[in-house]
Amino acid sequence: MANITDKVTVIGLGPMGQAFTRLFIEKGIHTTVWNRTASRADQLVAAGAILAPTPADAVAASNLIVLSLTDYQAMYDILTPAISVLSGKVIVNLSSDTPESSRKAAEWAASHGAAFISGGVMVPPPMVGNPGAFTFFSGPKDVFDLYQPTLEILGVTDYRGSDPGLAQFYYQALLDIMFTSVAGVLHATAFLRSAGVSGATFEPYMKNFLTFLPEMLTDMMIMDETDSGKYYGELNNMIMMAAGMDHITHASKEAGIDTTLPAAVKAIYDETVARGYGRDGLGSIYEVLKNPSK
């Protein structure tokens, strides 16, 4: 069984990379850091990290290189001048980007003799390393297994498969739910505010509904429907739902608030009806979402 590695390099010291570095130092790992803005390393150096003068020195210092950057372009910007020392290294990129970026990065790393694991951290920096923290990973299983005990310091590791794009697929899928749901919650809040209702008054209703939502989706067997392509519409069909979205869009206009969000959902519902799913259930919008009109 693999053990926690004795050395790690962290490149990228935003709030996330700083949290990683602190956790690695706390575990007694010799932790080398590099960041474009060197001053972001000051407190970490005081806590025991070693600041490398260049990305090449940072890479040379450890076999495991953990990246925490704004996007994958930043990885190329930083590591391209260090390609001569990449051979034999394991790059674990925990930065956000598209699945295709992860796949291309894995090929790029391989072309320089390095192994590549992609990851998506599913919690904010203060939660990293604490109960509830988890990270999706994908890439070569033998390489992941070798460093899993070290990566587990950051939280539960959820390995999704050898395709390096998979971690970003899962990560972006959950963020997709988060960002669209939060937009929905705040749109509803603005709608009620136009009637003088405060956010605090709305909060228990919002919470209650969001708690009930997973149960409702399970009862509707909406995931099974997406797999079978059959959408049960006897109790609530798409013609009724599209009319409902129309009401929300018009009510938002009357309220003087932004209508972009309900209008976008309404367009999807209308297209679903136009494609002949009017008597099918809400799950049938999946047919439009997975296969948009040209």
Residues that bind ligand NDP (CB under 6 A): 12-17, 35-37, 40, 68-70, 74, 77-78, 95-96, 121, 124-125
> At its nearest, how many Å lie between ligand NDP and the CB of residue 90?
19
Please give the single-letter amino acid code of residue 133. A
For ligand NDP, the closer of residues 69 and 257 by Cβ is 69
Rounded CA separation 214/210 (Å)? 8
Minimum gap (Å) between residue 92 Cβ and ligand NDP: 12
**Closest approach of ligand NDP to the CB of residue 115, in Å:** 20
> Residue 273 has which token pair?
């009806």
Q: C-alpha distances in angstroms, 21 versus 10, 18, 28, 55?
A: 7, 5, 11, 16
- If the CB atoms of residues 122 and 282 are measured against ligand NDP, the closer one turns out to be 122
Based on CB atoms, which residue is closest to ligand NDP, 45 or 274?
A: 45
Nearer to ligand NDP among residue 52 and residue 288 (C-beta)? 52
Decide: 143 and 191 in contact? Cβ < 8 Å: no
Distance of alpha carbon 164 from its chain centroid, rounded?
Answer: 14
Q: Residue 230's closest CA among 289, 292, 281?
A: 281
Residue at shortest CB range from ligand NDP: 14
Largest CA distance in the chain: 66
- Core vs surface per residue 135-163: b (16+ CB within 10 A) or e: bbbbbbeebbebbbebbebbbebebbeeb
Tokens standing for residue 188: 């509803």
Q: Which helix (H) or strand (E) holds 103?
A: helix 99-111
Tokens 């069984």, residue?
Answer: 1
How far apart are CB 69 and ligand NDP at their closest, in Å? 4
Of 125 and 184, nearer to ligand NDP (C-beta) is: 125
Q: Smallest distance from the beta carbon of 108 to ligand NDP, in angstroms?
A: 16
| Least spacing, CB of residue 15 vs ligand NDP, in Å | 5
Which lies closer to ligand NDP via its Cβ, residue 175 or residue 185? Answer: 175
CA distance 134 to 18: 17
Shortest approach of ligand NDP to residue 17 CB, angstroms?
A: 5
Which residue's CB is nearer to ligand NDP, number 102 or number 150?
102
